[in-house]
Chains A and B, each alone.
Chain A
Amino acid sequence: MSSSSNPSGNSPVLQGFLRSDGRKGIRNCIVVAYLVECAHHVAREIVDSFRGQPVHVIGFGGCYPNAYADRMMNRLCTHPNVGGVLLLSLGCESFNRHRLAQNIAESGRPVSAVVIQQAGGTRKSIEAGTAWVRQALRQIADVPRTPLAVNELVVGTICGGSDATSGISANPAVGRAFDLLVQQGAATIFEETGEMIGLEDVMSARAITPELGHELKQSVEKAAYYYKQMGHASFAPGNAEGGLTTIEEKSIGAYCKSGDSAISGLIKPGDVPRKGGLYLLDVVPDGEPRFGFPNINDNAEIAELIACGSHVILFTTGRGSVVGSAISPVIKVCANPETYDRMSDDMDVNAGKILRLEATVDEVGREIYQKVLDVASGMQSCSESLGHQEFVLTYKSFEPIGPACLPA
């Protein structure tokens, strides 16, 4: 597997895994998905016996039904990086495992369900699940390989463990990488409307239609209202320690990850962009606050970016986050040169060079672009090679997007 390193030339061709539904993945993993917390331990025990192999745990802990969680699980289990799925059920939870299993089967993937109460408890469920995963790994080894162009990639971005360096080195550099990806026809997704507060008009002006601009502005107003109800903005004590003073200041830092491209659409968790361009992912629930904070941590947002089809996640950090994710590789772009020196094993790109005046934003942007191609070609990111496979999914509620959100 190889890729060209020239972002301005012809679009490089990578190798992907072709799925029956026509989508293409850059990984080929088995997902073990628990459908209630009561089945989590059994799922974890099964996955633990495949250490070093592409077998990941995801799941939903809640016992009560939730349309958002149902949609997320369906999208994640049929993500192009997923080759097959084992569902883990206790037996009395309300998750609709039959419909999920049917959707996975219809996508052409091997799928099976272990129901702990029917299988005879913990030990027998672990044995049955382990045996199924072992044969499923053999089965998906035959998934056809296919050429994959950059314009077939979906790339998401998020920042976490931010400090004031995030917004002045890593995030502007990711913005340049996003510009290069959009120029090549890829779909790119930025998110966290709670981090756009104060920038509504600046962002609306970038929309490809005035109606979309109105939707973008409304999504930020919704976020501002929601966070006021919560009494907290998306602002952790570590942010202030790192030099950030206000939510607006953090907003600019987060916002500049989007680069300079026009904004092609507004999507919600589980909406997959059908063509290239730059998309805003609205992660704030609709309606009055019902289940608490929009996203309780970075991995809840990463899971949403992946449910929107992201093959790769660009994660910028100043203070030094170490997380990865199930299903899609996470590339760490470290903003702070001191953090990079201390935690370089966890960091894929050192954007702190910008602050030491050793590299320009453009140069680091090109380095990030190339890292995306390398990881899409099979190279492991740092978090992948360290075994990080975090996953979080909680209760939320959304209305479907309106017609103005995805202009033709």
Chain B
Amino acid sequence: MQSEGKSRKLLRIHPDDNVLIVVSPVSPGDRDLVDGRELVFTQNIAIGHKVAAREIKAAEKVYKCGVPIGSAKELIPAGAHMHLHNLKSDYIATYTLDKDNVFVK
């Protein structure tokens, strides 16, 4: 498992993946290289979370480890944090707790 190009923050697990894994915490203004292009991050992103490796269209399948993990809810720009707000399961809704600790879909 090698980091992508000169990236020291993002890990590509499989060549077919359109998401990358954050392996070093990202802060707004941080820059990293992905596929030879520079990305400028606008958010804090914790390790283990995903970012788009390239622009991903609405309803496009999202691949991690070379296997589909769901589809995009909306157009996702390269470098954007990908999570519950823009990625949905194709099998069953994901339940989680909101800010007030209430179960939400």
Interface residues, chain A, CB within 8 Å of chain B? 163-165, 167-168, 172, 197-199, 202, 224, 227-228, 232-233, 235, 237, 240-243, 245-249, 252-253, 256, 318, 336, 338, 354-357, 360-361
Contact = CB atoms under 8 A, between A and B. Distances in A.
B11 A233 contact: no
A355 B1 CA distance: 9
A289 to B, nearest CB: 15
Interface size class of B (residues with CB under 8 A): 20 to 34
Contact of A245 (B21, B22, B84): B84
Contact of A355 (B23, B83, B84): B23
B91 A336 contact: no
Contacts of A249: 64, 69-70
Contacts of A356: 23
Interface in B46-95: 46-50, 64-65, 67-70, 82-84, 87-92, 94-95
A245 B1 contact: no
B61 to A, nearest CB: 10
Contacts of A253: 65
B50 A245 contact: yes
A354 B1 CA distance: 8
Interface string B25-53: 00000000000000000000011111000
B72 to A, nearest CB: 11
Contacts of A202: 67
Contacts of A247: 89, 91-92, 94
Which of A168, A172, A356 has the most B CB atoms < 10 Å from its CB?
A: A168
Given A245-B87, A246-B70, A252-B65, A355 B47 contact: yes
Nearest to B45: A243
Contact of A233 (B22, B94, B97): B94
A165 B46 CA distance: 11
B76 to A, nearest CB: 12
Nearest to A248: B69
Contacts of A172: 1
A318 B64 CA distance: 18
Given A164-B21, A354-B1, A246 B89 contact: yes
Given A167-B65, A168-B13, A252-B67, A227 B48 contact: no
26 contacts: A164-B48, A165-B48, A168-B13, A168-B48, A172-B1, A198-B68, A198-B90, A202-B67, A224-B91, A224-B92, A232-B95, A233-B89, A233-B92, A235-B94, A235-B95, A235-B96, A240-B94, A242-B48, A245-B83, A245-B89, A246-B89, A247-B94, A248-B68, A256-B65, A318-B48, A355-B11
